[in-house]
Amino acid sequence: MLRKILLLITLMTLLVFSGSLTAYAADSIDTTDLSKGLIHATYLSDSTAKIKVMIEKDAKRYTYDLNSKGVMESFPLQLGDGSYKISILQNTTGNSYSILSSQTVTALITDPNSVYLSSIQNVNWKVDSEAVKKAVALTKATTDLGKKAQILWDYMAKNNKYDYTKLAKLPSSYVPAVDATLRDKSGICYDFSSLYAAMLRSQGIPAKLVKGYAPNYAQGYHAWNEAYDSVNKKWVVIDSTYDLQVIKVKPKAVSMIKKTTEYQKVYEY
């Protein structure tokens, strides 16, 4: 009887692992926060192959790297209400990927601005993050959201420096860590726009991390922020990376809000 039980357990294990005891993979897509414009993805595997999450709506597509350690990561549905195709992909050879799983979901987002209040992969923050604690400390004297944004921008522009050597050393999969940027007071545009967005979001201010091109930015591809002005009901462009470089030379030549026409948006998160 014992031998039969052991044999049954062995057969069940073989079925779960699809005939292999040395390779394991499991993925999941959590859609419980669709109304907030958010999905969560998890992948666990002992494979070293690169994994990606692909989010598609209409003719637009966003692709992200996904860790294979079983750690959940969150991603925005920034393309509005409607039908999205969410896929998890695995690298096969070169730049080729195969689909591991895919599903179509319908998002009805309660408040479009809520998409830009959540913690996501590249604007990753928690209530107990050092970046959030700093934002709370800096803005505790006011409840005015516009003043909070100004205070946090002033901090970003006056307390950080651009690292001109960092970009060349980074892998394509690099994602900023807001607490590390806060601690180091140094980084690249991606770091600063992630940190500023996290600080704003933690204070209830919808904030986008934007990637694209700007004429004043000599490095080419750039990252900056858009913050929602709740008084005038519009998004405004804020570029703390540009400002922190200029303010050291010409302190009075810098204003927080930039001209939207001077920035060419490619992606927003």
Distance, CA of 194 to CA of 131 (rounded, Å): 11
Mean model confidence pLDDT for the chain: 90
- At residue 215 the predicted structure's pLDDT band, cuts being 50, 70 and 90, is confident
CATH architecture of structural domain 130-268:
Roll (3.10)
Strands (E) across the chain are located at: 25-30, 38-45, 51-57, 60-66, 73-76, 82-91, 97-107, 161-162, 186-187, 207-213, 221-229, 234-238, 257-258, 264-268
**pLDDT attached to residue 50:** 97
Tokens of 263: 């920035």
Q: Percent of the chain beyond pLDDT 70?
A: 89
**pLDDT attached to residue 218:** 63
Report whether CATH 2.60.40.10 matches the domain 2-112: yes
Answer yes or no: is pLDDT of 7 > 70.
Answer: no
Q: Please tell me the least confidently modeled range out of 79-88, 171-180, 237-246, 248-257.
A: 248-257
The reply to whether the predicted model has a pTM over 0.75 is yes
Tokens of 115: 């998409």
**pLDDT attached to residue 220:** 79
Q: Domain residues of the chain, as ranges?
A: 2-112, 130-268
Is it true that 2-112 and 130-268 share their CATH fold? Answer: no
The answer to whether 64 and 52 are in contact (CB under 8 A) is yes
CB atoms within 10 A of CB 269: 22
**pLDDT attached to residue 19:** 37
